[in-house]
Structure 1
Amino acid sequence: MEQYQYHIFAPYRVCPLGAHVDHQHGLVTGFAIDKGVDLWFNVRDDGQVKLKSLTFEGDVDFAINAPSQVREHHWGDYARGAKYALRKRFELEKGIEGVIKGSLPVGGLSSSAAVLTAYVMAFAKANGIKLQPFEVVQIASEAEREYIGLNNGLLDQACITLGKKDGLLFLDCDTNEYRIIKRNPDMPTFEIGIFFSGLTRSLVNSDYNLRVYECKTAAWNMLAYTDQPLKTFDKTFLRDIPKATFEKTRIAMPARFARRAEHFYSEYRRVRQGVTAWETGNMKLFGKLSFDSCESSINNYECGSPELIAIYEIMRSLPGIYGGRFSGAGFKGACIALVNPEHKETIEKELTKRYLEQFPEYEKTFHVYWVKPDDGARFV
């Protein structure tokens, strides 16, 4: 891409612990990985944004200083969403002309958040706007919630923007405080396996938003049963309600809401234990907690397709896999695993064989990828 002046790399992300809790202001962990989205661009003085994709069909063309139109359900929506969120804060006068390319055709690694992050950084650069990393996180997250329509928390954008090659991101989604926990020298080496089921998905059309509302309904139930004032739905989060209140009220609420809350409180505990395991270099325990997180995602959060559950069950039985879980929201998509690199070949062979025995229809679309933690989004 020699003819372009600027190049941004925005990595995909994986979250070993802290599943489905960011939207309830829980605790999460994550890595940026060494695969992601590349955006090459030049600045345009006429305010036009002209984009091509090496992954998707069609061109994108709009004015940076015009109000955002309604979504077109097309890959250009992500550029328009980034413009929408930036224009709430800044004057935008200069556009860009560029090409974007994704490196893994996989659901569950937050490619949408990576794309949004790249566009936010590009539009800011073109217009001389200096953003702190956490501002990029907030603006890209707002674009996804308010323009794309996915009620996510900050996890994806935080991993993508703040991630570090030699550490684990630990983020409190209530206070937005975060730290990068350096790898303990005693920790065994690991790589990350991404096992793509072959089934693609769109989160906005999955049960993702429904689960968010179920969590909030569980919180409302607890407040109502204990005669506490209710807040509006958008200001209601499980994080604000002590676990003791849940223990008192769980029997009174419909079982599905109790299961959603059980997932939240147990995941909170697992992340805290996981952070300690990571700090002390105990990969065995860290991996086990990741497996337990997936177990709770299946039984309490009730996500995961038959395909993903099959991959998870095969993973649990293979030597050399420390732990793993569904990646992303766990509706179709992929599983991730923390793996001892010495076992990579055997794992790939065995997992592929056993999965395709159950689901031969995915022979052409099932894939195994190997990635490593990497630094967050940056100009290359």
Structure 2
Amino acid sequence: LTIIYIKKMVKVMKNVDGVVVARGSIFALKSAGKILYQGIVGVVDGSGPFDSSGISSSAAVGVAYLLAFESANDLNISPSENIQLDRLIENGFLGLKNGILDQSAILLSQSKCLTRIDCKSKEYKLIHPPITNGNSDCEELKSYKILLAFSGVKHALSSKPGYNSRVAECQEAATILLEASRRISTEPLLCN
């Protein structure tokens, strides 16, 4: 459980790790030229079976802080800009070399739709279920099955250098495979 009190940008916390993302959201908003007049008072509870399991937790918390600060300061920021702000939290403040998939899924998805996201072009499309007989809650919708498997392994990406090393290894492997296939490309591979 993380208890956060942020009023006029003064921080008092029970769990320092939980406040790092809050500080990152202030950093991102200020870096984008946003002026913050108000702080927030909040409780973040990450308990449960998926705590630190990698289920978009850092992106979810980052987006939550961004939206809370935006609401408190009457800022109107688009989902696309919030995706970039959350990326700034994770890449620029936390030092992670991840992309935009998690925050895009959080900010662009809608109930009862699948979301197709092209992280390279930043384009997305909501895929609505087929409609038969004028009923959107049709059998086709019920035929979608999504499985989320939890291995039981918990981790915090920002506290382990292995994540960024793994990203670099994947980029190197992609380069080697492209060279072996004789495909020469100047495009970045597996880029963020």
**TM-score of Structure 1 vs Structure 2, range by shorter chain:** 0.7 to 0.9
User: Residues 82 and 140 of structure 1 are in contact (CA less than 8 Å); yes or no, is this contact kept in structure 2?
Assistant: yes
Q: What pairs with 1:152-231 in structure 2 (closer than 5 Å)?
A: 152-184=98-130, 185=138, 186-189=140-143, 192-204=146-158, 205=160, 207-221=162-176, 222=178
2:43 aligns with: 99
| Amino acid of the structure 1 residue aligned with 2:70 | A
1:76 aligns with 2:13: no
CA distance in 1, matches of 2:4, 2:76: 18
Q: How many residues align?
A: 177
Q: 1:104 to 1:134 in 2, by over 3 A?
A: farther
2:88 aligns with: 142
Q: Does 1 or 2 have the higher relative contact order (CA < 8 Å, sep 6+)? A: 1
2:189 aligns with: 237
1:369 aligns with: none
User: Residues 219 and 236 of structure 1 are in contact (CA less than 8 Å); yes or no, is this contact kept in structure 2?
Assistant: no
1:110 aligns with 2:56: yes
CA distance in 1, matches of 2:149, 2:183: 46
User: Residues 50 and 97 of structure 1 are in contact (CA less than 8 Å); yes or no, is this contact kept in structure 2?
Assistant: no
2:66 aligns with: 120
| Amino acid of the structure 2 residue aligned with 1:203 | L
Report the TM-score, using the length of structure 1 for normalisation.
0.41
Root-mean-square deviation (CA), in Å? 3.2
The DSSP-based 3-state class of the residue aligned with 2:98 is coil
Cα deviation for residue 99 of structure 1 reads: 1.5
CA distance in 2, matches of 1:59, 1:201: 16
The DSSP-based 3-state class of the residue aligned with 1:165 is coil
Q: Which has the larger strand fraction? A: 1
User: Mind listing any 5+ residue stretches in structure 2 that lack a counterpart?
Assistant: 131-137
Cα deviation for residue 192 of structure 1 reads: 4.7
The DSSP-based 3-state class of the residue aligned with 1:170 is strand
Cα deviation for residue 220 of structure 1 reads: 4.0
| Amino acid of the structure 2 residue aligned with 1:85 | A
CA distances 1:156-177 after superposition (whole Å, capped 9, x unpaired): 0011111111111111111101
| Amino acid of the structure 1 residue aligned with 2:165 | L
Q: 1:42 to 1:150 in 2, by over 3 A?
A: closer
Cα deviation for residue 78 of structure 1 reads: 0.7
Q: 1:114 to 1:170 in 2, by over 3 A?
A: same
Q: 1:225 to 1:179 in 2, by over 3 A?
A: closer
CA distances 1:100-126 after superposition (whole Å, capped 9, x unpaired): 223534102111111100101111222
The DSSP-based 3-state class of the residue aligned with 1:196 is coil
CA distance in 2, matches of 1:109, 1:116: 13
2:134 aligns with: none
Report the TM-score, using the length of structure 2 for normalisation.
0.75
User: Mind listing any 5+ residue stretches in structure 1 that lack a counterpart?
Assistant: 1-38, 53-57, 61-73, 240-380
The DSSP-based 3-state class of the residue aligned with 1:149 is coil
Rg larger for: 1
User: Which runs of at least 4 in structure 1 moved beyond 4 Å after TM superposition?
Assistant: 39-44, 49-52, 189-195, 223-230
The DSSP-based 3-state class of the residue aligned with 2:142 is coil
CA distances 1:135-183 after superposition (whole Å, capped 9, x unpaired): 1111112201111122111110011111111111111111101011012
Cα deviation for residue 189 of structure 1 reads: 4.3
The DSSP-based 3-state class of the residue aligned with 2:67 is helix
